[in-house]
């Protein structure tokens, strides 16, 4: 009888499992959403939430703890400077959500989307900051006395060439 099973093994040894969790956390930090199986997502979710809680502290020691797991400077910086400020420091969990997507055809495993609850706001340009685009025909062509005026080459119509049918014959048919 199995007792006190406290973590997901996922059919891997400890080093492979640690590498899998690290890569899933890094891709979740970079893309802020990922699709994976239910078992992997439910194993990675508490790891990511603990890292984000550490990142909310904002101290040097917590930054080093986060970096010791993630081991990539860009991902650590994004977690601390971009993702962590979206959440309040009083909240100590619930940073991610699991949404069921489908069942994978090959092995019938449940696929889910693991995503942050607070996504980045899309940047929309305002009317005043965007200049109207001028058409290239209305733009005057600048000419130089030194360089000759360049004109576009005239395009000629190329007739389609009929290709001979491929021969799939026997060994002596060459």
- Confidence at 40, pLDDT banded by 50, 70, 90: very high
Note down the domain range covering 51. 14-116
CATH code: domain of residue 69: 3.90.1030.10
Which positions ≥6 away from 53 have C-beta within 8 Å?
92, 93
- Confidence at 51, pLDDT banded by 50, 70, 90: very high
Collapsed DSSP state (helix, strand, coil) of residue 79: helix
- Does 71 map to a domain? yes
Q: What pLDDT, on a 0 to 100 scale, did the predictor assign at position 74?
A: 97
What does the DSSP 8-state code read for residue 78?
H
Total structural domains within the chain: 1
- Does 123 map to a domain? no
Strand 110-116 and strand 33-37: the pairing is antiparallel
- Does 141 map to a domain? no
Q: What mean pLDDT do residues 100-124 have?
A: 90
- Does 109 map to a domain? yes
What does the DSSP 8-state code read for residue 32?
S
- Does 127 map to a domain? no
Q: What pLDDT, on a 0 to 100 scale, did the predictor assign at position 37?
A: 96
Give the lowest-confidence range in 71-85, 117-131, 135-149.
Answer: 135-149
- Does 132 map to a domain? no
150 against 30, higher pLDDT: 30
Give CA–CA dist 86/138, Å, rounded: 46
- Does 3 map to a domain? no
- Confidence at 121, pLDDT banded by 50, 70, 90: confident
Give the lowest-confidence range in 4-13, 27-36, 38-47, 55-64.
Answer: 4-13
- Confidence at 162, pLDDT banded by 50, 70, 90: low
Q: CA-CA-CA-CA torsion for 6, 10, 16, 20, nearest 10 degrees? A: -90
């Amino acid at each position: 009888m199995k007792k006190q099973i406290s973590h997901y093994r996922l059919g891997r040894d400890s080093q492979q499992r640690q590498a899998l969790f690290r890569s899933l956390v890094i891709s979740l930090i970079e893309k802020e959403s990922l699709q994976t199986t239910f078992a992997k997502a439910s194993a990675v979710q508490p790891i990511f939430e603990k890292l984000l809680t550490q990142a909310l502290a904002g101290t040097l020691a917590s930054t080093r703890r986060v970096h010791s797991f993630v081991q990539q400077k860009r991902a650590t910086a994004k977690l601390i400077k971009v993702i962590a400020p979206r959440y309040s420091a009083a909240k100590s969990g619930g940073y991610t959500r699991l949404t069921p997507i489908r069942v994978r055809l090959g092995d019938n495993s449940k696929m889910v989307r693991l995503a942050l609850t607070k996504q980045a706001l899309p940047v929309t340009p305002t009317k005043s900051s965007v200049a109207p685009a001028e058409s290239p025909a209305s733009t005057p062509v600048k000419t130089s006395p030194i360089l000759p005026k360049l004109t576009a080459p005239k395009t000629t119509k190329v007739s389609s060439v009929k290709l001979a049918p491929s021969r799939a014959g026997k060994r002596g048919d060459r």
